[in-house]
Structure 1
Amino acid sequence: MSLFKDYRAILFNRRGRVLEVTLNRPDKLNATDAVLHTELARVFVDISNDPDSDVVVLTGAGRAFSAGGDVSWMQDAIDVPERFEQTVREAKQIVFGLIDCEKPIIAKLNGHATGLGATIALFCDVIFAAEHAKIGDPHVSIGFVAGDGGAVIWPQLIGYARAKEYLLTGDLMTATEAARIGLINHAVPADKLDGQVGAFADRLAAGATKAIRWTKMSINIGLRDLATSILDASLAYEAMSNGTPDHQEAVRAFAEKRVPLFGRSGGAA
């Protein structure tokens, strides 16, 4: 596992030709901080270059898949806006890393997937979730633009009308509802999740490897074109929202465990 020896916030395990990749900040519900974000920006390239795997299962340690961005990390970006330039660059690398990885990536949502966590899950190729898991992109609830991939992938999976409803409100939905409307593939009882994901991964691993890889890449041509045309603008909007009073208010309110009071970003700061 020499390719993966320097990772601090992601764990790796092999099961035959299946590579199991686990986001590993369980005490923070696998929320993304600077370390995990940087590792996510390169992990899918390393996975692509791994000679010992053909299929990837991506999951989270503990109770969640990923709870999005760590709020203390967000405050750092507010305090030192220049740091957000690196975040924007890495966000593009995460999305294109997922799109360009030839190996099929199965998302195993053992718990909630929100914000960037939802984006990462939805850019995977096949998505299984425990029925109790909730999925959503609540960027707007913290005064942030859903710019790190949500504006690309949600409309492609569930159409523009439904995507706008969820992205403009930040509402979460159950995995059962997500499967019903086509946002994910399967919602299963929690005690069946490992078995069903394992069986599907084994099925792909036993298949015609190159045919599977190149079929994925063919399907992703259109998705890559969309990401290329949308991400620069949506991430620029997200960077602009990083400096708004609404975003600072939301981050402060989260730290103080209260409801944020929005409404100042349209007028004087």
Structure 2
Amino acid sequence: MDFDTYTRFTFARHDRVLTATITGPNPVNGVDEAMHHELARVFTDLQRDPDSDIIILTGAGRAFCAGGDFDWFDEQIAHPDRFRDIGWDAKRVVTTLLEMEKPIICRMNGAAAGLGATIALLCDIIIADDRAVIGDPHVKVGLVAGDGGAVIWPQLIGYARAKEYLMTGDLIKAPEAARMGLINHAVPTADLDAKVAEIVAKLQANPKWAVRWTKVVANQPLRVLAQQLMDASIPYETLSNLAHDRAEAVTAFRERRAPRLTGE
């Protein structure tokens, strides 16, 4: 598979394991328009790659993927049609990740927030650096958690806790996320690669098609749920981008102050 056209990912192979590294336009791998386009197709390309059986997804530098890029937020607020136009891609990010047959391990090397958290949690096994945090702070920038958070969080930790975190936007430290069952493992930084390698070895020790199709069956309810919810959540998120408080929330976040919300 030719991955040379990607600008927001880098790829490395070791035997039949392919590592895809999110490499964003800023130090925390925030999602900009180019990355969003690539996220909508990368999981299909990873599935089609004939030279890999297992995928590791990680981030470059100090973060996994810390949500949306604020320059892109400004463009979306100024030009709402651009937000509307990413709806199809937004759905494909979630559905193509869930449709992958190959096992995909999230190596959560740092913060995972917003869409970054959704992507991490939709992976099959999530192994985090114990200094990392995870959360879905869409509401803090005036948006509905419409890009998959409302799909996956309740399935992992139950509706009561999921709604608390989705409606407050609070971040969770990796060890606590592991204790509540949101992620699989939180390990010291020095042990992260060894833990990932351990899980990879366990998967490789089992017959490939048994592992792959077990994942397919286990993901089937999530695929059905995603198809149902994304058709509602994306329009609601698009509407929230039009609200007055959306622009104020983004401005306040940039200025590191409390937002002056009007309820509009």
TM over 0.5: yes
Give the distance between the partners of 2:53 and 2:143, measured in 1 at CA: 36
How far off its partner does 1:85 sit? Answer: 2.4
Identity of aligned residues (%): 55
Matches within 5 A, 1:146-165: 146-165=145-164
1:27 maps to what in 2? Answer: 26
Distance 2:36 2:226 in 1: 19
| Per-residue CA distance 1:199-236 (angstroms, 9 max, x = gap) | 21132134211111111110111001111111111111
1:50-96 deviations in Å (ceiling 9; x for gaps): 00000000000000001100011011111111111232111111101
Query: Which residue in 2 is equivalent to 1:185?
Result: 184
Aligned pairs for 1:47-196 within 5 A: 47-196=46-195
Deviation for aligned residue 1:253: 1.6
Q: Is the 8 A contact 1:68 1:113 kept in 2?
A: yes
* Equivalent position amino acid for 1:45 in 2: T
**1:120-144: CA deviation from partner (whole Å, max 9, x where unpaired):** 0000000000110000000011111
For the pair 1:223 / 2:225, whether they are aligned, the reply is: no
Question: Could you tell me whether the CA contact under 8 Å between 2:129 and 2:174 is conserved in 1?
Answer: yes
> 1:152 is aligned with what amino acid?
V
TM-score normalised by the chain length of structure 2 = 0.97
1:118, 1:28 → 2: CA distance?
Answer: 17
Question: Could you give the per-residue CA deviations for residues 225-265 of structure 1, whole angstroms, max 9, x where no partner exists?
Answer: 11111111111110000000111001112233322222331
Find the aligned partners of 1:225 and 1:197 in 2 and give their Cα distance.
Answer: 29
SS in 2 for 1:82: helix
Give the C-alpha shift of residue 26 in structure 1. Answer: 6.8
Q: CA RMSD in A?
A: 1.1
For the 8 Å contact 1:66–1:113, the answer to whether it is kept is yes
Separation of aligned partners in 1, 2:85 and 2:187: 37
Structure 1 range deviating more: 205-214 or 66-75? 205-214
Q: Measure, in 2, the Cα distance between the counterparts of 1:26 and 1:148.
A: 20
User: Structure 2 unaligned runs (5+)?
Assistant: none
Q: What count of residue pairs does the alignment treat as equivalent?
A: 264
Q: Distance in 2 between matches of 1:175 and 1:160?
A: 20
Name the structure 2 match of 1:207: 206
User: Deviations 1:111-167 (Å, cap 9, x if unpaired)?
Assistant: 010000000000000000011000000001111100100000000000000001100
Q: Distance in 2 between matches of 1:105 and 1:121?
A: 10
Residue type of the alignment partner of 2:104 = I
Q: Structure 1 pair 206/86, CA: closer, same or farther in 2 (3 Å)?
A: farther
Contact 1:67 1:115 in 2 (8 A): yes
Which residue in the other structure is 1:254 paired with?
253
Deviation at 1:180, TM superposition (A): 0.3
Rounded Cα–Cα distance in structure 2 between residues aligned with 1:171 and 1:263? 22
C-alpha contact (below 8 Å) 2:8/2:23 kept by paired residues:
yes
Q: Quick check: 2:27–2:62 contact (8 Å CA) kept in 1?
A: no
Segments of 5+ residues of structure 1 without an aligned counterpart are none
Cα distance in 2 for partners of 1:5, 1:86 equals 25
